[in-house]
Chains A and B, each alone.
Chain A
Amino acid sequence: MSDGAPAHPHTTPAPAPTHGAGGGRPRRWRRVRTGLKGWLYLLPALAVYGGFAIYPALSTFSFSFLDWDGVQPPTWAGVENYTRVVTDPLLAGAIGNGLVLIVFFSFVPIAVGLLMTGLLTARGGRGTTFYRTVYFLPQVLPLVAVGTTWRWLYSGDGAVNEFLGAVGLDGLTRSWLADYHFALIALGLIGTWCMSGLCMVLFMSGAQKIDPALHEAAALDGAGRMRRFRHVTLPGLRKEISIAGVITTIAALASFDLVYVTTNGGPAGQTNVPALLVYRLAFNEGDIGAASALAVVLTLLVVALVSVIRLLAREK
């Protein structure tokens, strides 16, 4: 700014609006300005995303090469933390359990969701809203409440065992989450209960988008309900199935709260999952390096599995 003379940026250049429309310079300027304005709109989201997702992710990656307790000066550890993730049976076992949970959090709910979609679309619109609400309810409840409730349902004198006793299966009753062999399965079934409704709601909305003419044409050609479901509904749901697969797989591998309140990894480590050990390593044991390495491996695993799902579901 020059000395003395007051600047009047607002009053000086601006071309009169009457001749602005056709001129080259103002238009280009406007385009640049519109571009800048676009970025301005993006800025809040970018700042939040960068600050709370990108930056922590990069920090985690850099921590994973350190030997650090979070307080004292860190020392370089190289790939030592990664070696530990791969070789420590505890950590490797947790990743294995996470993969088992995919069956219960992803495969089974998608199958159940498809089944319910098939049933609900076949019987027409009556009562659909009711069923949709009921099945979707688990998604709305906080997982901590879900976990605590299921811990009671599964307990020695809980509802699950009472039901088994009532139908004459006394021999099967046990404290499910305390059982060395059944705990992981019991935990997985809670995931199935949570995720099935989500899958169903996704599939229902997808099924409603399918052109009814396709169903009519298939029916005229003599296709029964099963056939129409297989050859009309199912292909039409490709995108929804892929999305459901992605969401539920992430939920399985990154599950923490549900495990934390139901079994906390027990009995005797049978239900350890990676996120639980990340938490323990970082906050109980003060081993930020190993915790970060496990988190990075888990993230890579999620990205790899999600990529596979997307690839399989791609339109031919």
Chain B
Amino acid sequence: MLTLTACAALSGGSAQDNTPDDVSTDISDTEATLTLAFADDPPTHELVEGFTAMYPNVNIELQQTQFTDYVKTISLSMTSDDAPDIAQYNPGAMRSLIPGGHILNLDPYAEAYAWDETFPEATLEPLQSNEEATEFATGSLYAAPGALSVLGVFHNTEVMEEAGVPEPPATLEDFEAALELAHQADIAPMSVGGLEVGGFQIWNALLNGLGDRDDYKDWVYGAEGATIETEAAAEATETFHRWVEAGYVPESANATSDNDARAEFVDGDSMFLVTGNWAAFELEAEMGDDVGFLLMPGTAVDQAPVASGGSVAYAVSSHTEHPDVAAAFLNYLSSVEAAEIQLATGFMPVDTQAPTESYGLLNEVNFGFSTVADNEGIVPFPDHAAPGMIDQLTPGIQGLISGSATPEEFLASLQAEWESHHE
């Protein structure tokens, strides 16, 4: 019946040494074969190919696991005797693996390669933590990002025209006016995948535009005494609630998956879709010139843009025999060569200065991302704040959509989860 077979035998022992002593950035003479465990493809496969083409002396064997199973298996495989040398970073799993000493402390390599200059600071923050992995953006570095993502708003230009919206909204006020125009024209203002992450991503985007960047970051990264029950978060939540009451967010959203919402938007049944750059490829292929991208606007036009973003990142096992080679792979991720691959696979490049030749929708997404990145406006996703946060965010937003919870209750439930994790 119901049993948890995935749990290995109770392995005891204290944390092991995870800081490399002498590091080298020259791997040209090292013949090595490494294994890399990952879930996301693209970009992993392509990046590894690019790296091994540069270093023919290195061979990297890939172990792919489906995303839903990856979270479960990576903890087990990284603690086994036969741990992979490199593993795709997963916040949930790392919360246990870092304190257990199974993940290599990358500080010596970051210094040797000067990663603080080649990787955007905001992209390294979520990958830094204290030894207990309770607080992020502090302590040591445990992974490096291989491809970046950013949250924003896709709009259907044809539908906008139909509803009488002259141009993509530049302020939140304009955005709300556009929603109202669509609503009056009997067009669904937004497609919302409230069954999964689509609901709270709208809230997330609103908070990006309305909130104080540092307050929010403190909360997600687990700084002592941080809270989400701020005035700005209340305003973001009330705005979302107002949109629900005005009928901009349909109640059916609660049973709409992210895929279904995307399909609805592609079919021209709605004006806006709040999601990330990962959807850009498909949307452009299906909609061509009818789709555009913008960051969720703030209250003022000239406001410094802030947007949630994440990365496909890679950590190194502290059991590896070739830490120098693994670190060289991480270093490669910020190169111009890697940037080309990252863009070609639908991600944002780690090297934000890399010349790009994209056009159309991908160019708009890339432009939006670089304005945020240049202003150090990339902030983490809210589900990063605690392992169980996603199980508060999705049902919490569903409560707002179905009218069974108030904005205050929603924020209080998030804070309660935060406090139960950071007690």
Contact = CB atoms under 8 A, between A and B. Distances in A.
Size category, B interface: 35 or more
A179 interface: yes
A155 B255 CA distance: 7
A69 interface: yes
Interface stretch (B2-10, B121-129, B299-307, B320-328): B2-10
B255 A263 contact: yes
A73 interface: yes
B64 interface: no
Contacts of B79: 71
Contacts of B6: 70, 282-283
Interface in B215-272: 250-257, 260
B195 A268 contact: no
B255 A267 contact: yes
Q: Which of B97, B260, B391 has the most CB of A within 10 A?
A: B391
Interface stretch (B151-159, B174-182, B371-379, B396-404): B396-404
A295 B395 contact: no
B32 to A, nearest CB: 27
Contacts of A246: none
A268 B402 contact: yes
Interface string B402-422: 111100000000000000000
B230 to A, nearest CB: 23
Contacts of B93: 71
B199 to A, nearest CB: 9
B252 A155 contact: yes
B399 A286 contact: no
Contact of A268 (B3, B7, B95, B398): B398
Given A180-B403, A268-B404, A57 B251 contact: no
B7 A175 contact: no
A242 interface: no
B390 A267 contact: no
Given A178-B255, A268-B399, A295-B2, A285 B97 contact: no
A96 B48 CA distance: 49
29 contacts: A59-B3, A60-B4, A68-B10, A71-B79, A73-B11, A73-B12, A73-B13, A155-B252, A155-B255, A156-B250, A177-B255, A178-B251, A178-B401, A265-B395, A266-B395, A267-B254, A267-B398, A267-B399, A268-B254, A268-B395, A268-B396, A269-B399, A282-B4, A282-B6, A283-B71, A285-B387, A286-B92, A291-B4, A299-B2
Q: Which of B13, B75, B252 has the most CB of A within 10 A?
A: B252
B388 A285 contact: yes
A286 B10 contact: no
B7 A288 contact: yes
A72 B4 contact: no
A196 interface: no
Sorted nearest first, the 6 A-B pairs with minimum C-beta distance are: A175-B252, A178-B254, A71-B96, A268-B399, A177-B255, A178-B255
A71 B1 contact: no
B264 to A, nearest CB: 10
A63 B10 CA distance: 9
B342 interface: no
Interface string B72-96: 1001100100000000000011011
B108 interface: no
B11 to A, nearest CB: 8
Interface in B92-114: 92-93, 95-97, 99-100, 102
Contacts of B254: 175, 177-179, 266-268
Contacts of A57: 1, 3
B388 A72 contact: no
A266 B95 contact: no
Q: Which of A60, A68, A72, A175 has the most CB of B within 10 A?
A: A72
A52 B5 contact: yes
Interface string A49-77: 00011001101100100101111111000
Q: Which of A69, A262, A266 has the most CB of B within 10 A?
A: A266
Contacts of B2: 60, 254, 275, 278, 295, 298-299
B252 to A, nearest CB: 3
A178 B194 contact: yes
B194 A295 contact: no
A179 B402 contact: yes
B135 interface: no
Contacts of A180: 402-404
A158 to B, nearest CB: 10
Contact of B1 (A63, A254, A264, A266): A254
